[in-house]
A and B are shown apart, each in its own frame.
Chain A
Amino acid sequence: MCSISRGKLSTVLKSTSSCIFENLAYEEHIFRTHNVAQNGEILLMWSNRPAVVIGRHQNPWIEVNIPYANKNNIQIVRRHSGGGTVYHDLGNLNISLLTTHAQHCRPKNLKFISDALNQQFSVKIVPNKRDDMELHPGERKCSGTAARIARGQAYHHLTLLVGADLQVLSKSLKSPWRDKIESNATRSVRAPAVGFLKQDDANANVEQSKLAIVEAYRKLFEESHIKTVNVAEEVKKNAEISKIFDELKAWKWIYGKSPKFQYSRENKSIIEVKDGLVLDTNQQFSPDL
Chain B
Amino acid sequence: MSFLSRFIPTVTARTAIRFASNGRLYTKKHEWIVVNQSVGTVGITDFATEQLGDVVFIELPEAGVEIEKGDSTGAVESVKAASDIYAPVSGKILEKNTKLEDEPGIINKSPLEKGWLYRLEITSNEQLNELLTEEQYNKFKSEEEAEH
**Complex interface residues of chain A between 174 and 191 (CB less than 8 A to chain B):** 184-186
A81-B77 Cα distance, complex, nearest whole Å:
9
Task: Decide yes or no whether B6 CB sits under 8 A from chain A.
Answer: no
Binary contact readout B43-82 vs A (1 if CB under 8 angstroms, 0 otherwise): 0000000000000110100000000000010010111111
A3-B146 Cα distance, complex, nearest whole Å:
11
Task: Decide yes or no whether B113 CB sits under 8 A from chain A.
Answer: no
From A2, A102, A147, give the contact of B80 (CB < 8 A). A147
CB distance from A283 to the nearest CB of B (A): 20
Task: Decide yes or no whether B21 CB sits under 8 A from chain A.
Answer: no
Contacts of A185 in B (CB 8 A): 57
From B72, B80, B104, B147, give the contact of A145 (CB < 8 A). B80
Q: A81-B82, A83-B80, A259-B101 are in contact. Are A186 and B72 (CB under 8 A)?
A: no
**Complex interface residues of chain A between 131 and 190 (CB less than 8 A to chain B):** 131, 145-151, 154, 184-186
Task: Decide yes or no whether B126 CB sits under 8 A from chain A.
Answer: no
A151-B72 Cα distance, complex, nearest whole Å:
9
Binary contact readout A1-32 vs B (1 if CB under 8 angstroms, 0 otherwise): 01100000000000000000000000000000
Is A82 a contact partner of B77 (Cβ separation < 8 A)? Answer: yes
Contacts of A2 in B (CB 8 A): 148
Is A151 a contact partner of B102 (Cβ separation < 8 A)? Answer: no
A185-B81 Cα distance, complex, nearest whole Å:
14
Is A186 a contact partner of B57 (Cβ separation < 8 A)? Answer: yes
A120-B69 Cα distance, complex, nearest whole Å:
49
**Chain A residues with a Cβ under 8 A of chain B:** 2-3, 55-57, 80-84, 102, 131, 145-151, 154, 184-186, 259
